[in-house]
Amino acid sequence: QVQFVESGGGSVQAGGSLRLSCVYSTRTMDEYCMPWFRQPPGKEREGVALFDFDGTISFADSVKGRFDIAKDNTNKSLYLQMNSLKPEDTAIYYCAAHSHWGCDWTQGRYDYWGQGTQVTVSS
């Protein structure tokens, strides 16, 4: 059983930056696919960034060049660095994980989810 505690959300103005943290309960997450998802107000949850089993990183087109994802097993954390934030980045952000085959945005694959952290970007 894996548990996550998310933090780092808040309110910023457009152009600002935030770093989200997702602290996990296990010693390492090297055998897990670990993404960040977000759910904008009134919309469905969508994938944002992905840390694959082999360390390959993927980003949604909407955040490429602005967001970065990193994993630090020493601190048992997955991070989402968000720069040049836009009002359309406003959402609840979730970390997740699974250890099955396939690492993509298919939400049904994911067994473990964080509680979510709110990010609000004002214009």
Q: What is the pLDDT of residues 99-110, one digit of tens each?
A: 988 899 899 999
Structure tokens at 25: 């309960």
Distance separating alpha carbons of residues 48 and 22, to the nearest angstrom: 14
Q: Is the pLDDT reported for residue 76 higher than 80?
A: yes
pLDDT (0 to 100) of residue 52: 92
User: In the predicted model, what is the mean pLDDT of residues 62-74?
Assistant: 95
Q: What is the pLDDT of residues 16-60, one digit of tens each?
A: 999 999 999 987 888 899 999 999 999 999 999 999 988 899 999
Backbone angles phi, psi at 87, to 5 degrees: -55, -35
Distance CA 91, CA 37 (A): 9
Q: Report the distance separating Cα 106 and Cα 93, nearest Å.
A: 16
Q: Contact 96/113 with Cβ under 8 angstroms?
A: yes
| pLDDT exceeds 80 at position 7 | yes
Q: CA–CA separation, 18 vs 63, rounded Å?
A: 13
Identify which of 14, 44, 42, 24 has the alpha carbon closest to the alpha carbon of residue 111.
24
